Amino acid sequence: MIEKIKQTKPYPIILLTLVVLVSVALLMGLNTVTEPIIEAQREAAIIRILEEIFPGMTEFVLEDGIYYIFEDDQEQGYAFIASGSGYGGEISIMVGLDTDLLIKDISIISQTETPGLGSRIEEEDFLAQFSGLDVPQLELERNQGEIDAITGATVSSEAVVDAVREEMQDKLNVLE
């Protein structure tokens, strides 16, 4: 009887449909289980980066995409996430501002740039160039700015500079 069912024309379609339905159900279940874990890890990474930029941070408040940073109930600065499209894909950057609204520090949250070239955007020599700058200074040197591009990784360098400048301009409009 089973052999007869297997030889009918709809059998492969029914079997394939069942396999797909079971696979989809398993993937949905796995996603439901792992999604909160992934989100918790992402939040922990953001808090870690905020603590690196603002070592004395005791608390923060997130409002309208801006992290208001406090140390013992006294405002110490602000932070926000900027995103840009580099050579290898999306680049996410945490930008910390001091109370004078100048860049305190930046940190790369995630990137998929070419290892050894574009991935050098995470190096301290490149990131340190942003400290103390305001919006008009956020350009590559070749565009009369203050940031020296990484040799061989101009697209990645420009993506970081553009993302920080554009998002900083937007956030300054809210903060001022």
Q: Backbone phi, then psi, for 33, in 5-degree steps? A: -75, -40
Q: From CA 137, how far away is CA 152, in angstroms rounded?
A: 22
Q: Backbone phi, then psi, for 53, in 5-degree steps? A: -75, -40
Domain ranges of the chain: 2-50, 55-175
The pTM of this model reads 0.79
Partner residues linked to 79 by β-bridges: 67, 96
pLDDT tens readout for residues 96-111:
999 999 999 999 999 9
Q: Backbone phi, then psi, for 159, in 5-degree steps? A: -65, -40
pLDDT tens readout for residues 27-74:
999 999 999 998 899 889 999 999 999 998 999 999 989 999 999 989
